[in-house]
Structure 1
Amino acid sequence: MTRAARPDASRLLLQRVREVAATVVDKQDRLDGITAEIADVMAAEVCSIYIRHGDNRLWLTATRGLNQEAVHTTALAVGEGLVGLVAESARPVNLSEATAHENFAYRPETGEEAFHSFVGVPLLRGGLVVGVLTVQNVRPRLYATDEVDALQTVAMLVAEVAAAHEPPGEDIGEDLRPVRLEGRVLNAGVALGTAHMHEARLPVQSMVSGADAAVEIARVDQALDEMHRALDDRFHAADLAGEGEHREVLQAYRMFAEDRGWLSRIREAVRGGLSAEGAVVRIQEQMRARMRQMRDPFFRERLHDLDDLSHRLLEHLAGEAGRMQKDELPGDAVLVARNMGPAELLDYPRERLRALLLEEGSHTAHVVIVARALDIPVLGDLKDIPAIAEGGDRVAVDGENGQVFIRPGAQVEQNFLHAMQMREERRAQFAVLRDKAARSVDGVEVSLNINAGLLIDIQQVAAVGADGVGLYRTEIPFMVRSRFPDVEDQQRLYSRALDLSEGRPLVFRTLDIGGDKVLPYWRQAEEENPAMGWRALRLTLDRPQMLRQQLRAMVRAAAGRDLHVMFPMVAEVSEFERARAALDAEIDRERRQGRDAPASVFAGAMLEVPALVW
């Protein structure tokens, strides 16, 4: 009869594995010893470790119970077999009859045909699956929840050991050649500086608690209290005092710091035998793995915030040691990161930052909105940049054309410096001409306006001497919120936008959503041609309440002032007429209710659909 795992398996596993990792020098012997200890504590006939190599395959690297001849011979692709399924999903797989599962892949050299039950858990490090830990038994059985939980806990330590295990014959050398990367401009600007790798991973001295769980939970609570106070102080700093969407982002972030589900999972992990730091890391790794699988930008952004908060909590648990990294920042730092939370950016001294380079990122990412408020150039979609760049590398950032030069060389750097100087000279020339009338050589006056998507953009009108805002993209503020803003919320936003324009014309474009512009709380069916399909005005005409609410908010915000409204993606004159009728109806509604109407109303359409011309 198959024995059950020992009581309090989580603590015992952590203790045994930690002892092996600390005392055994040879890397292979260390992994072999770990599988033996896990098999013993879990009362399992088989325990195996598969490590993910550069070929993206999972190689059997150590085992207790399978044929030793299969070690370093058997390999499974990610998604292949049960081991590959664990790696692909980054979640445990628990089966009483492994051979009955559709993903089961038979490898005769392992001799595993005798074993029925199977449980596999991912080895997570930095949110990446670096391997898989499996346990098998001859008799069919479904492993209990606490047993799977114990394996997930010990998998954190195994992942650290696995990360240090170099595959046989695999030589990874440094490549220090110059590299040019293309990305997406998220906030324009140019910079030349020194790469600083944003490492959101602090070394944890002890994953296992040597104290009572209540003591560790008290440490978590104290660190949380310190973190909350520090966040409140930072968010009220002078450089963030101005109004704008960045304030809403930071307020939402502060609310996440009180998330009960996140905090309860950390405390539960402590009760399972982990130290305060170990519990935070475990929950953080699980969130990172899920984040990599999510496609919804809204939920990915929320998970990024929780990932940021986990790192911040680790810093407070570590005390001053957790803050040393920021003190080592060079004076001309170009931050390089996979992604960042908004508060992480605020940890760095603004006067030392030259630019921010992200492997991910979008215009509505919280860190990008805060960076725009601080006037920091940002480029995103820079594939593999955390792996390509190294701390101390010289980096030239062309935030006008969306390109980055890593290790550019003396000549390229000199040329870039010259280009930066020329750019500053042109800006100085433009500043002299800023207040001069824009007039063609034949005497025709030309109105120069800026485009805006956030309140922070409108503040540039006076700085560049523009006549006004020719296009205010109202969908951008919608995209950074967790719900559809009601009339009152929209009215406050549009009123503030008009205030910032200081009497200059500001043209509101009604919602242009659909296609590649997706609201996080909006589910839209797939189309063959989403760019020209059900989007923008067509969508809001089919959802008249949405259009009427937005127009009502604009009318109220512009009471006593001029109101300029532009309707996007108009394909037929009848569409414009219906939209204009909705605008007129809202103006009449305000007058009937005794409210002030706009002083004057200008309505137009964007000429962007060929059918409107032909």
Structure 2
Amino acid sequence: MRGSLGGPRVLLRRLREVMAEPVSAQDRLDKIVVLIAANMVAEVCSVYVLRVDGTLELYATEGLNRSAVHQTVMRAGEGLVGLVAQDAKPLSLSNAQAHPAFAFKPETGEEVYHSFLGVPVLRAGNTLGVLVVQNRAHRTYSEEEIEALQTTAMVLAEMIASGELSALARPGAEPAARRSLHLSGLGLCDGIGLGHVVLHEPRVVVTNFIAEDIVREVARLDDAVDALRASIDSMLDGGDIGSVGEHRDVLETYRMFAHDRGWLHRLREAVLTGLTAEAAVERVQSDTRARMMRQSDPFLRERLHDLDDLAHRLMRQLMGRTHAPKPEGLPKDAVIVARNMSPAALLDYDRSRVRGLLLEEGGPMSHIAIVARAIGVPTVGQIPNAAGLVDPGDAIIVDGASGEVHVRPQADVQAAYAEKARLRARKQKQFAALRDKPCITRDGEHVALNINAGLLVDLPHIAETGAAGIGLFRTELQFMVAASFPRAGEQEKLYRAVLDAAGDRPVTFRTLDIGGDKVLPYMRSFDEENPALGWRAIRLGLDRPGLLRSQVRAMLKAAAGRDLRLMFPMVADVAEFVRARSIVERELTHLRRHGYLLPDQLQVGVMVEVPSLLFELDELLEHTDFVSVGTNDLIQFLYAVDRGNTRVSDRFDPLSVPVLRALKRIVDAGKAHGKTVTLCGELASQPLGAVALIALGFRSLSVSVTAVGPVKAILRQLDAGRAAGHILPWLENSGGDMQLRQRLLAFAAAESLSV
């Protein structure tokens, strides 16, 4: 078949016929190896399938001893077959026995064969097996023959992935394509999600692999590539995005890859073997994905996402789809799997059917994680290649507490997690029973337990949890989920709805905390080396006073005739707060002049999250009506640790002596000035953290919705005086012993507190 274009195309057509025959899986495989051997003028053709135990088993052969089928097994990396599987790339040898990796298997009778060509059987970059041809003669396989065998391997990949071969396997030696997977990631939102996989961006399914007209397929490919390049150029040059920023960088990378001659050459070569244009794109990208997943260079691995996106764009272009396909027929127990997604995209799903969320990226403070917690969806992030490891409809378990994920779990694992979910449901019922009970410690200390919110979907939680109010309403979430900048009227409508839902409960609105890592898609972004320390929050608001004024005016108008609490984030010194408060006074004057009804009572506060304020607390509290401690940022700034960086975010304990001493300083200053001090942040949402905060003197906490029950339950069991007596003396004089968490745990155990 060397030099002939008819060979591969004829083989693919014959394979299609065999795949359609109503025969057993073994008979089908046996026919396939005979066809491949005859077409490639090879004396041997063998199929090895990767098993769940990581070994490779001979499933079918033409030329080797048939008795070796299902008997010959190779360890990972063993022999030439193991080398192909390990490296995920073709291996062609004219004298195989001279290769250092050659492993002799006497039962196969392959000692008389010298030349060897092996290609990995790949799907979505994952190795499912190895396809091999051999000859007695010392021959060199041509590039065309290698391409043809890789193309044929695509058909085998679909057969293996379908689960058809599972019936041939012994228990414990099933094909790895459908094996159970246990993955460890980062828990982003507590809870257990049991359900079935829904890909947020479903793969473009190629149904027609075999080309009828090669010339036409090449033309289709060229036209699609030209259209893809034109669309990227249009986005870059048309002024729809800024001249700098992350979005532009991504598109510039797309443009670079789209004009890469090597990529286009590989696509054309794949079409010339007999594939349709879309099948060629899938094959080339699967090969590329397999190679790049094995790279140790993080930069190269990151580029894999760009290439995946580009390949998907090209496939949609070929199949006449201008947008990514949307999941259809959402099951009642959907677990959404995505590389990453926007908060708006998550909110587009029917919440009553979403049981969990699995992300390749995502950190605990990412926007999607914040929204997932707001709507109570168990979420796990930091699972590399998550979308490539699952198929739509796969059974899956997501444990948002431990970060564990089970794909296609065994029956005993499913049963264990189902029982865990039932126990959790019973505990939630116990928490729900506390809804109307006051949050009072055993020794009579009242604690205002509020919730954190930021979207309309959060509002029912006020009544559901029995919260004292909303201690932190993140106004920027409305801006992040919107397609364009919300007008003043839209903002006013949201703030009024929040106040209506809260009734007589207090609501504290935080003004926009955008900038830094919270980039709005419709606003021009700026590259900053340290975005968390950069142009964000109140800094942006004071530099763009029109933005801040319109938001403050919307809040004041929404709160007409009611109480209003608003606070400013990221304030670094008293002068900034004074400037911000003057904007509020200016807007009040404007509304009075134009006859608007004003709030009955207005309190203006500040978030203490920049450490510099720790040394201006007395001056600050003379100007502000209340303060709210933002522990998420305060702790990261105290320790100079990026909370979104998984390499360092868990390096320092929030329940540490420096942190609790800083918090004690704030709460004591508040008491001295007679000003309310509340605390919002993840620390308050942890039962053990809440115990420490009450011991320090905090009597107002704002927690995530899912934390209200557990925190209220433990505070009702707590003797606040005993906690203070245990912690404070040691905090003042630790003697160099910094193991505060252990002391807190010991106290909780002695007091029979369920932390």
Which bin holds the TM-score, normalised by the shorter protein?
0.5 to 0.7
Distance in 2, Cα, partners of 1:137 & 1:222: 40
Distance in 2, Cα, partners of 1:205 & 1:32: 24
- Residue 124 of structure 1: SS of its match in structure 2? strand
Q: Which residue is equivalent to 1:547? A: none
Asked whether the 8 Å contact 2:450–2:470 carries over to 1, the reply is no
Counterpart selection for 1:412 from 424, 437, 444: 424
Question: Displacement, 1:11?
Answer: 1.9
Unaligned runs of 5+ in 2: 176-180, 374-378, 407-416, 433-448, 454-466, 474-505, 511-515, 519-529, 542-565, 574-608, 614-632, 652-735, 737-755
Question: Displacement, 1:27?
Answer: 1.0
Asked whether the 8 Å contact 2:95–2:116 carries over to 1, the reply is yes
Asked whether the 8 Å contact 1:332–1:353 carries over to 2, the reply is no
Distance in 1, Cα, partners of 2:146 & 2:155: 15
Q: Which residue is equivalent to 2:107? A: 109
1:304 aligns with 2:407: no
Question: Displacement, 1:395?
Answer: 7.7
Asked whether the 8 Å contact 2:50–2:56 carries over to 1, the reply is yes
Distance in 1, Cα, partners of 2:192 & 2:72: 48
1:352 aligns with 2:353: no
Q: Which residue is equivalent to 1:441? A: none
Distance in 1, Cα, partners of 2:87 & 2:394: 36
Asked whether the 8 Å contact 2:56–2:129 carries over to 1, the reply is yes
Name the aligned partner's letter for residue 165 of structure 2. Answer: H
Q: Which residue is equivalent to 2:296? A: 295
Asked whether the 8 Å contact 1:5–1:41 carries over to 2, the reply is no
Asked whether the 8 Å contact 1:35–1:47 carries over to 2, the reply is yes
Asked whether the 8 Å contact 2:96–2:114 carries over to 1, the reply is yes
Counterpart selection for 1:159 from 152, 157, 160: 157
- Residue 133 of structure 1: SS of its match in structure 2? strand
Per-residue Cα deviation, 1:439-480 (whole angstroms, up to 9, x for no partner): xxxxxxxxxxx999547996455797334379xxxxxxxxxx
1:282 aligns with 2:385: no
Question: Displacement, 1:170?
Answer: 3.3
Written as runs of structure 1 = structure 2, the 5 A alignment for 1:457-536 is: 459-460=536-537, 465-468=568-571
Distance in 2, Cα, partners of 1:460 & 1:397: 33
Per-residue Cα deviation, 1:380-418 (whole angstroms, up to 9, x for no partner): 23589777998598988758x867897663562575696
Question: Displacement, 1:210?
Answer: 1.0
Question: Displacement, 1:31?
Answer: 0.8
- Residue 258 of structure 2: SS of its match in structure 1? coil
Question: Displacement, 1:314?
Answer: 2.5
Distance in 1, Cα, partners of 2:266 & 2:311: 12
- Residue 296 of structure 2: SS of its match in structure 1? coil
Counterpart selection for 2:148 from 135, 147, 150: 150
Name the aligned partner's letter for residue 285 of structure 2. Answer: Q
Asked whether the 8 Å contact 1:130–1:162 carries over to 2, the reply is yes
- Residue 211 of structure 2: SS of its match in structure 1? coil
Name the aligned partner's letter for residue 214 of structure 1. Answer: V
Distance in 2, Cα, partners of 1:283 & 1:423: 47
- Residue 319 of structure 2: SS of its match in structure 1? helix
Written as runs of structure 1 = structure 2, the 5 A alignment for 1:290-439 is: 290-319=291-320, 325-329=326-330, 335-337=336-338, 340=339, 348=345, 351-352=348-349, 357-358=357-358, 360-361=360-361, 379-382=380-383, 409=421, 412-413=424-425, 424=453, 425=467, 428-430=470-472
Asked whether the 8 Å contact 2:396–2:405 carries over to 1, the reply is no
- Residue 274 of structure 1: SS of its match in structure 2? coil
Name the aligned partner's letter for residue 45 of structure 1. Answer: E
Name the aligned partner's letter for residue 326 of structure 1. Answer: P
Q: Which residue is equivalent to 2:247? A: 247
Q: Using a 3 Å threshold, how does the CA distance of structure 1 residues 217 and 249 change in structure 2: closer, same or farther?
A: same
Q: Which residue is equivalent to 1:258? A: 258
Distance in 1, Cα, partners of 2:88 & 2:394: 33
Identity of aligned residues (%): 35
Counterpart selection for 1:137 from 115, 135, 138: 135
Q: Which residue is equivalent to 1:57? A: 55
- Answer with 86-95 or 202-211: which moved more: 202-211
Distance in 2, Cα, partners of 1:33 & 1:169: 22
Distance in 2, Cα, partners of 1:76 & 1:135: 17
Counterpart selection for 1:34 from 32, 42, 47: 32
Q: Which residue is equivalent to 2:125? A: 127
Name the aligned partner's letter for residue 183 of structure 1. Answer: G
Asked whether the 8 Å contact 1:46–1:63 carries over to 2, the reply is yes
Aligned residue pair count: 452
Q: Using a 3 Å threshold, how does the CA distance of structure 1 residues 151 and 428 change in structure 2: closer, same or farther?
A: same
When normalised by structure 1's length, the TM-score is 0.60
- Residue 131 of structure 1: SS of its match in structure 2? strand
Question: Displacement, 1:93?
Answer: 0.9
When normalised by structure 2's length, the TM-score is 0.50
Written as runs of structure 1 = structure 2, the 5 A alignment for 1:180-219 is: 183-184=185-186, 196-198=197-199, 200-211=202-213, 213-219=214-220
Name the aligned partner's letter for residue 270 of structure 1. Answer: V
Question: Displacement, 1:71?
Answer: 0.7
Asked whether the 8 Å contact 1:235–1:250 carries over to 2, the reply is no
Name the aligned partner's letter for residue 132 of structure 1. Answer: V
Q: Which residue is equivalent to 2:10? A: 12
Distance in 1, Cα, partners of 2:58 & 2:83: 15
- Residue 206 of structure 1: SS of its match in structure 2? coil
Asked whether the 8 Å contact 1:245–1:454 carries over to 2, the reply is no
Distance in 2, Cα, partners of 1:394 & 1:70: 36
Asked whether the 8 Å contact 1:357–1:382 carries over to 2, the reply is no
Name the aligned partner's letter for residue 348 of structure 2. Answer: E
Distance in 1, Cα, partners of 2:323 & 2:245: 30
Name the aligned partner's letter for residue 216 of structure 2. Answer: V
Unaligned runs of 5+ in 1: 174-178, 437-449, 471-500, 519-530, 532-609
Q: Which residue is equivalent to 1:598? A: none
Q: Using a 3 Å threshold, how does the CA distance of structure 1 residues 14 and 316 change in structure 2: closer, same or farther?
A: same
Q: Using a 3 Å threshold, how does the CA distance of structure 1 residues 180 and 61 change in structure 2: closer, same or farther?
A: closer
Asked whether the 8 Å contact 1:291–1:304 carries over to 2, the reply is no
- Residue 294 of structure 1: SS of its match in structure 2? coil
Question: Displacement, 1:47?
Answer: 0.8
Please identify the structure whose Cα radius of gyration is greater: 2
**Alignment RMSD:** 5.2
Asked whether the 8 Å contact 2:362–2:368 carries over to 1, the reply is no
Question: Displacement, 1:214?
Answer: 3.2
Asked whether the 8 Å contact 2:267–2:281 carries over to 1, the reply is yes
Distance in 2, Cα, partners of 1:299 & 1:287: 11
Name the aligned partner's letter for residue 203 of structure 2. Answer: R
Name the aligned partner's letter for residue 204 of structure 1. Answer: V
Per-residue Cα deviation, 1:241-262 (whole angstroms, up to 9, x for no partner): 8999543454345435624233
Distance in 1, Cα, partners of 2:386 & 2:425: 19
Question: Displacement, 1:223?
Answer: 4.3
Name the aligned partner's letter for residue 412 of structure 1. Answer: R
- Residue 152 of structure 2: SS of its match in structure 1? helix
Question: Displacement, 1:59?
Answer: 0.8
Asked whether the 8 Å contact 2:43–2:63 carries over to 1, the reply is yes
Question: Displacement, 1:161?
Answer: 2.3
Question: Displacement, 1:34?
Answer: 0.9
- Residue 470 of structure 2: SS of its match in structure 1? helix
- Residue 295 of structure 1: SS of its match in structure 2? coil
Per-residue Cα deviation, 1:169-216 (whole angstroms, up to 9, x for no partner): 33879xxxxx9986326xx667898765216533321111012x3322
Name the aligned partner's letter for residue 287 of structure 1. Answer: T
Asked whether the 8 Å contact 2:360–2:382 carries over to 1, the reply is yes
- Residue 78 of structure 1: SS of its match in structure 2? coil
Asked whether the 8 Å contact 2:202–2:327 carries over to 1, the reply is no
